[in-house]
Amino acid sequence: MQLAINCPGCESEKLSLFYVAEDVPVHSVLLMLTRLEAVTYPRGNIHLAVCQECGFITNIAYEPALNEYSPRYEATQSYSPTFNTFHRQLARHLIERYDLRGKDVIEIGCGQGEFLTLLCEMGDNRGVGFDPAFRPYEMNSSAADRIEFISDFYSEKYADYHGDFVCCKMTLEHIPKTAEFVSMVRRSIGSKTDTIVFFQVPNATRILRDVAFWDIYYEHCSYFTPGALARLFRLCGFEVIDLAAEYDNQYLMIEARPTQRPSSRLLPQEEPVTQVLQDVSHFSTYYPLQISRWRRVLDEIQEKGERAVIWGAGSKGVSFLTTLKVTDEIGYGVDINPKKKGTFMPGTGHEIVLPEFLQTYQPDVVIVMNPVYCDEIQADLERLGVSARLLTV
């Protein structure tokens, strides 16, 4: 169905609806201190539409006013050795490739500043991080006196902050007016055309081809394939240097520099819009089958009287449980982040426990929300003396 709405990426009116999820939690990683708060937290709708001109995917039902990006927003991934290894390798790659030594670095959507701190420590750089959910803390870092954090959304009022390197990781997907935002970043750079810009977003191609419905949630109102991301940056005045899919194909990364005349040269990773439309059709066809498959798995677990938990009580876990309308088929949500202990998952109200809880609970089945962590999780289960079988999404 074609919609009379303009694409936030290219302004085209050729948007087609292909996915609908109603009454979903508008936040997945806010710390909910009671089960009542978790099950009654505000809800919204997801109506994903794809642009037939540029391949960008947007939630046309998104209402920004429903979101709460505050200090209780807890999306930290740094408790995972697997993730920390990836983060350090990424920081080293960027420092080496762009000679980020003794430079000024800006990070938009810095969270608690883990990546910005790495860049400043490893490259002896100076940094400024922007994030409304940033919680001030005493930094134990050799770069502490060279980093400033601003607990606010990045906007035009901070245009006086200039960096040799501008970083934005896992933030653009939260922004509905994508072209406006990327254009604002371009304006803030001005004539300093040697500035390098690095953005990281979820890889929508993987979501569509794997029918990964658990990777669709309300906070993510914008979805990018490699081609759609490159087209957006060129439209907003950037030359695309590189595109890459990393972290088990989950993250899409773009490296770019400002220019007055973006080249029309395409990178090998860029797919045509016709391919995006084929992937959308694939998702639409197989989504009902994916839902049915997981419902059968959960029903069999319940029929056998087995104890089951999900491992990963963040956004993927919330989407998995709410989309499948899970109740007591799953006992708990497990997470290694100690800040989540004793809180509850939005939507279904499942209590979040630390891995050590499983020593007593002894589940029969552990459903892993992110396969990249399987080895890490298996090692934890063996350490805890838990012999549950692992299922992965």
Residues 359-391: tens digit of each pLDDT: 999 999 999 999 999 999 999 999 999 999 999
State the greatest distance between any 2 C-alpha atoms of the chain, in Å, as a whole number. 66
Give residue 75's pLDDT: 85
Task: With respect to residue 151, please indicate whether it lies within any of the assigned structural domains.
Answer: yes
Mean pLDDT across 268-283: 97
- Categorize the per-residue pLDDT at 4 as very low, low, confident or very high, splitting at 50, 70 and 90: low
- How much is the pLDDT for 87? 96
Per-residue confidence band for 108, with pLDDT thresholds at 50, 70 and 90: very high
Domain count for the chain, please give it: 1
Domain annotation covers residue 71: no
% residues pLDDT > 90 (the chain): 89
Question: E strand or H helix at 48, and its extent?
Answer: strand 43-51
Q: How far separated are the first and last CA of the chain, in Å rounded?
A: 30
Structure-token pair, residue 159: 């245009």
Q: What is the pLDDT of residue 264?
A: 78
Average pLDDT over residues 101-127: 96
**Residue 1 burial class via C-beta count within 10 angstroms: exposed 0-12, middle 13-18, buried 19 and up:** exposed
Assign 126 to helix, strand or coil: strand
Q: What is the CATH number of the domain that holds 167?
A: 3.40.50.150
Q: Is residue 164 part of a domain?
A: yes
Mean pLDDT in the chain?
95
Q: How confident is the model at residue 279 (pLDDT cuts 50, 70, 90)?
A: very high
334 close to 340: Cβ distance less than 8 angstroms:
no
Q: Is residue 181 part of a domain?
A: yes
> For position 277, what pLDDT does the model report?
98
Say what the pLDDT of residue 1 is: 54
Whether residue 237 is predicted with pLDDT greater than 70 in this model: the reply is: yes
Q: What pLDDT shows up at residue 263?
A: 77
Residue 236: pLDDT over 80: yes
pLDDT confidence of residue 140: 84
pLDDT band at 138 (very low <50, low <70, confident <90, very high): confident
Q: Residue 148 is part of which domain span?
A: 81-276
Query: Would you tell me how many other CB atoms lie within 10 Å of the CB of residue 49?
Result: 23
Residue 68: what pLDDT? 83
At residue 121, what is the residue type?
E
Given a cut of 80, is residue 144 above it in pLDDT?
yes
Residue 336 included in any domain: no
**Per-residue pLDDT, 2:** 56
User: Residue 102: pLDDT above 60?
Assistant: yes
